């Protein structure tokens, strides 16, 4: 196992999937957990169902973590078993606590899946492939494709390396704060380890078309346009819910724009 993968595993075993004082996993820090955003967040998580067939025998959850949010359980509701694969045993212990008999739990590497061709009637992978070095991303997609049964689909979510929409929103806020003489936070660099996180490397829509387009049928759909930073900066308790209903409506009305310029696409692979 590469050094990077060992570091990622250690991070999730010792930090990411440990509960903090508020009862949430450390990993939940990257989500906007405020009540005002909850409806938008919940509805965007359910968009994964737009990329999955509803019924089948086995659903693969590659990099499952603990299946931490209630909406995640709906992905496998019509499947006999959810096969949770993760590099972190702590993730799988927690997943077993949450879905019990409905799950099978496998420690493994999503870039080298220990399953036979065509084993799954569906697959999801949420925020996990980005923990691989960029050179291994094609393997991860190829492995999900290989283990998918013919005519079935996989739904994959990872953030883009750059989101013009959220970059614009962030720059606008910085400009506004500067104008008012308020302190402006330094921008965080992507693609590096940070004190509270671990290794991530992200891609862009051109990468998806170039690396996957000739090998499999792939569609870039919208999952969630707004980043956690944008939500925290712009969505206020008063009027925030209405604003987010408008955003959600806009995402549905202009899916191609939000899929490619927003923060998180839903990559749908068809076999
Ligand atoms: C950000 S968490 C996401 C977990 C879950 N899918 C979710 O959306 O809540 C990333 C998960 O991917 C797992 N992971 C990272 N690299 C992996 C690899 N090479 N193979 C399998 N799992 C991996 C981590 O252990 C962690 O549980």
Rounded Cα distance between 249 and 189, Å, is 31
The helix/strand/coil state of 98 is helix
**pLDDT score, position 178:** 85
**pLDDT score, position 68:** 95
Residue to mutate, 74, 86, 123, ligand 1, most ligand atoms under 8 Å from C-beta: 86
Domain-located, residue 87: yes
How many domains in the chain?
1
Domain-located, residue 127: yes
Is residue 149 a contact partner of residue 119, using CB atoms and an 8 Å limit? yes
State the CB neighbour count (10 A cutoff) for residue 225.
25
Determine what percent of the chain falls in helix, strand and coil, rounding each to the nearest 5: 45, 20, 35
Tokens coding 76 = 């496998």
Give 219's Cβ-side CA count (13 Å radius): 15
Domain-located, residue 117: yes
Q: Which residues contact 43 (CB under 8 A, 6 or more apart)?
A: 248
Domain-located, residue 46: yes
**pLDDT score, position 1:** 74
Q: How far is the CA of 182 from the centre of ligand 1 (A)?
A: 37
Q: How far is the CA of 173 from the centre of ligand 1 (A)?
A: 32
Q: Which residues line ligand 1 (CB under 6 A)?
A: 5, 8, 12, 27, 63-65, 68, 85-88, 91, 109-111, 126-128, 131-132
Domain-located, residue 166: no
Domain-located, residue 180: no
Q: How far is the CA of 91 from the centre of ligand 1 (A)?
A: 8
Q: What is the DSSP letter of 188?
A: P
Residue nearest to atom 1 of ligand 1 (CA): 127
Domain-located, residue 183: no
Query: Dihedrals φ, ψ of 132, to 5°?
Result: -90, 155
Query: Counting atoms of ligand 1 from 1, which one is nearest the CA of 69?
Result: 9
- In angstroms, how far is the first alpha carbon of the chain from the final one? 29
Q: What is the pLDDT of residues 32-49, one digit of tens each?
A: 999 999 999 999 999 999
Q: What is the DSSP letter of 56?
A: E
State the CB neighbour count (10 A cutoff) for residue 55.
12
Residue nearest to atom 17 of ligand 1 (CA): 87
Is residue 76 a contact partner of residue 61, using CB atoms and an 8 Å limit? yes
Give 211's Cβ-side CA count (13 Å radius): 15
Is residue 122 a contact partner of residue 56, using CB atoms and an 8 Å limit? yes
Q: How far is the CA of 211 from the centre of ligand 1 (A)?
A: 22
Rounded Cα distance between 106 and 85, Å, is 5
Distances (CA, A) of 180 to 127, 175, 229: 36, 9, 20
**pLDDT score, position 195:** 38
Domain that holds residue 40: 3-16+31-161+189-270
State the CB neighbour count (10 A cutoff) for residue 98.
18
Residue with tokens 């707004």: 226
Q: Which residues of the chain have pLDDT under 50?
A: 190-196
**pLDDT score, position 215:** 95
Domain-located, residue 23: no
Q: What is the DSSP letter of 239?
A: T
What CATH number is attached to the domain comprising 213? 3.40.50.150
Is residue 241 a contact partner of residue 39, using CB atoms and an 8 Å limit? yes
């Amino acid at each position: 196992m590469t050094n990077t993968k060992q570091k990622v595993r250690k991070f999730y075993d010792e930090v990411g999937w440990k509960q903090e004082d508020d009862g949430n996993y450390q990993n939940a820090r990257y989500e906007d957990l405020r009540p005002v955003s909850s409806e938008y967040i919940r509805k965007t998580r359910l968009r994964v169902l737009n990329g999955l067939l509803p019924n089948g025998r086995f659903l693969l959850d590659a990099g499952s973590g603990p299946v931490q949010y209630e909406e995640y359980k709906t992905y496998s509701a019509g499947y006999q078993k959810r096969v949770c694969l993760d590099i972190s045993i702590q993730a799988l212990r927690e997943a077993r606590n949450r879905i019990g008999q409905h799950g099978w739990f496998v420690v493994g590497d999503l870039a080298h899946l220990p399953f036979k061709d065509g084993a799954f009637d569906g697959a999801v992978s949420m925020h996990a492939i980005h923990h691989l070095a960029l050179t291994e991303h094609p393997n991860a997609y190829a492995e999900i494709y290989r283990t998918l049964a013919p005519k079935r689909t996989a739904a994959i979510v990872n953030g883009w390396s750059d989101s013009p929409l959220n970059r614009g929103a962030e720059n606008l806020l910085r400009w506004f704060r500067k104008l008012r003489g308020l302190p402006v936070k330094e921008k965080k660099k992507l693609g590096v380890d940070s004190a509270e996180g671990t290794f991530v490397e992200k891609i862009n829509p051109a990468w998806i078309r170039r690396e996957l387009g000739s090998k499999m049928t792939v569609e870039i759909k919208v999952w969630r346009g707004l980043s956690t930073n944008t939500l925290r900066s712009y969505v206020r308790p008063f009027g925030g819910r209405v604003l987010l209903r408008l955003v959600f409506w806009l995402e549905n009305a202009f899916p191609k724009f939000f899929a490619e310029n927003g923060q998180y696409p839903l990559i749908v692979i068809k076999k």
